[in-house]
Chains A and B, each alone.
Chain A
Amino acid sequence: MNLEAKTMESKILSSDTWKAPGAKALIINNIKKTWPIWAAELFFLSWLIPVSLTFDIIYGHSYLNLEVPFDIAKFLLVPACVLMAMKVFGYLMKEKSTTFFHSLPFTRTKLFAVNAVSGFLLIIIPLLLVGIASVIIAAVKGHNIIIYGIEWFLVLCCDCIYVYGSTILIAIIFGNKISGYAMTAILFFYVEIIVNIFNSLFSNLHSSVSYMFIFPRGFFQFLSPISLVTNTYVSSAYWTTNETNYYFKNLAFTVTEELIVGALMIVAAFLLYRYRKSERSGELIAFSSFKLVFKWGFALSFGAFLTMFLGETVIGSIEIQSTINIVQTILFVFFVVLSYLIAEMILQKKFNVFYKLRFEILLPFAASIAVALVLLFDVFGITRYIPDKDDIENLNVNINLNYEDPYTEKFGPYYFINLNGEKLSEYEKIDTFLDLHKGIIADDPDSFSQNRTGYNKYVISDKATEDYDAMVHIWYNLKDDTNITRMYYVPYGYVEKYLDKMETYNDVPVTTGLLQ
């Protein structure tokens, strides 16, 4: 396009974007096509709050808890926002409808803006009506809940912006309804899914470390929609006959965080929409570059999932023991390559993709080997990491012991030592357990045992003689509000020297029954 044409395009975008003609038609169209969504939202929200409030007044209830309806309202709004966004931008999912809307005399900017804003208003207006009705009904009962109503509305609006914006982004990126809804569902849980899959895989490769806590959500929680919507604030609201009591904790943080992320999602969706090619409608993914992200994301996540699943079910029960790491590493490489092929099959909608990908397949092969080696050799030192003493707010410790009954050759009765229950915040006590942790790390916890199926009798490596198993669970709460949890299976003899020290913090007789 020459300079003149470009100038013309920018002129059009700046002058006509927000002018009214045509917008009315699109808004009316959106109201009509989404009526089941906003009508259902209005009905359920009304039933949940103003109608139930009215009954409370009629029956003269002296106590009312508003937290529960508030939380239910939030979870009603999440599907409402998802459905609304998918419906309003649903025309992008079929070539016929995309052709229709893109041939109308609108710029892409105007189409996006009118659809996005009208869809959002259709979610918010029922919420506003319900809020106003609730405030009025409460006033009849003599409670002034205007401020609470405003805060409530504000928080839910921000939840909606976030969920609605995220779904619009998905609708723009993915080219058909099936992939759109599937990816929306995955989007809300992707952090949890990915973190758990890789934690499981990692723990399978490092048999002495519990899988749940290796990759904490930490930073990723900020990117996790479901965490963002559910975990960021604390609210309480109840009324008695004489008292109106309510508060929001972390309100400002919640509102700011959701607004920023939601706005970023919408801006990203808008930018992508302007460059979305009409001819891509109906395809699984509407942007070629995202196909690569999809293939790699699918290959690594699904490959890791299959390896973890097989590791937990088949490999774990046949007890390959010392070869388990190598077997799982090979499986991981195999499943990543297989998943890469599956991703390509999904994209191409055909099975015969191997020949075309025979050279390309070398990349996921190499990448999966690299990832497997990084996990296997713990390149980033996750298993060896011990927080600095100055960063620790407090810590909890558990040590569990079990042994095999020498007469019955059955496990148990389990003699149990539990040295926890208090958060240790005195530095000299923390030092004791830092020493314990450092000792375990120094002797390489992976060499202690390959058997993770329980506190079973086992033959330990060259670090110790035949002994009983002990589980050491250390939980650090750090000053920056994050936590680190590690769980190791170590020989009993290994922890024995610490038991005396531990006894200091627990009245349970350490050796009772254990060494009888």
Chain B
Amino acid sequence: MIRVENVEKSFDGLKALDGISLTVEKGSVYGLVGPNGAGKSTIIKHLTGVYKADKGEVSINNEPVYENPRIKEKISYIPDELFFINRASVKQMMKFYRNIYKDFDMERFEKLKDVFSSININKPICKLSKGMQKQAAFWLTICCNPEIIILDEPVDGLDPVMRRQVWSLLLQDVAERSTTVLVSSHNLRELEDVCDTVGILNKGKMMLEKSLSSLQGSVVKYQVVYNGEAPELKDKLDILHVQNNASVYTYIIRGEAKMIEDVLRSFQPVILDVIPLTLEEIFIYELGGEDYGIKDIII
């Protein structure tokens, strides 16, 4: 289990993490989302033992991560900016990792050659395309058989087929080996399909941390047509966003669905439809309350 407690980190006086806490259960997939500069990569570098927290604790299986090779051996990490040692090929990197990670699975490496068949394992990775470099990173990471996989913007540059392929491999590990995956991404559509829990970060703070199902249950979207003037709802409901198009009102409301529907029905609308809410909408409207909403700008 990954546990981050009240972690603070400043860079030259700028607080990148401001008392952040999160918990990731073993065998789950945790999605870390947030606007640019929210602190996602910073918290990930704490989880991989690269950064040392100014305050607070970062632990895995109740052991600190920083300067702890026993724990770091259980983690594989794909950063947003890939790095491979000096002009190494996949084969050379495989040997490098094999010497470092004692659980490195050679059999799996051979099997996955079919999946990543487009990669020439003898060619320097730096000569491969960006997408292929990403594939190589996944290939090597998966073969390390880690207990925890940490991914920072993992599928950028991968084609749709390879994205699915990679996620399928990762989820297979989650199902069969109870691997824990923590993924930071801006591709919320993708996270929606794979995550058990989502944490929304903003300005170095954890704004919201919930299971995806409860998150989607806690914010609802209704389309309503009233018979006459629209009623004043602000006092009755926690409305995150309202949009009016002729007689059609679209509401995004925080709260329990049944209660919200009862309130809306009390105004006897002509039409009342529940519309599925995407993670992206939740992200946008939750952050809207934090001064990060989409602004109607006319240039």
Contacts and interface: CB of A to CB of B under 8 A. Distances in A.
A96 to B, nearest CB: 4
A218 interface: no
B188 to A, nearest CB: 25
Contacts of A278: 45, 50-51
A9 B79 CA distance: 25
A103 B48 contact: yes
A106 interface: yes
Contact of B81 (A16, A28, A96, A277): A96
A265 to B, nearest CB: 24
B162 to A, nearest CB: 23
B102 A277 contact: no
B50 A105 contact: no
B50 A12 contact: no
Contacts of B100: 21-22, 25, 104-105
B79 A29 contact: no
A99 B11 CA distance: 16
* B-side interface size class: 20 to 34
A509 B49 CA distance: 82
A276 to B, nearest CB: 10
A410 interface: no
B111 interface: no
A179 interface: no
Given A9-B66, A25-B99, A96-B82, 12 more contacts: A5-B57, A16-B69, A22-B100, A25-B97, A29-B85, A99-B48, A103-B72, A104-B100, A105-B100, A106-B69, A106-B72, A279-B11
Contact of B51 (A12, A100, A277): A277
B101 interface: yes
B14 to A, nearest CB: 11
B68 A9 contact: yes
Interface of A: 1-2, 5, 8-9, 12-13, 16, 21-22, 24-25, 28-29, 32-33, 96-100, 102-108, 110, 277-279
A279 B48 contact: no
B70 interface: yes
Contact of B83 (A24, A28, A99): A99
Nearest to A4: B64
Interface string B241-277: 0000000000000000000000000000000000000
B68 A100 contact: no
Nearest to A100: B83
Contacts of A12: 67-70
B73 interface: yes
B86 interface: yes
B101 A105 contact: yes
A33 B51 contact: no
B57 A105 contact: no
A1 B51 CA distance: 14
Interface in B66-110: 66-70, 72-73, 75, 77, 79, 81-83, 85-86, 95-97, 99-102
A24 B68 contact: no
B64 A29 contact: no
A104 B81 contact: no
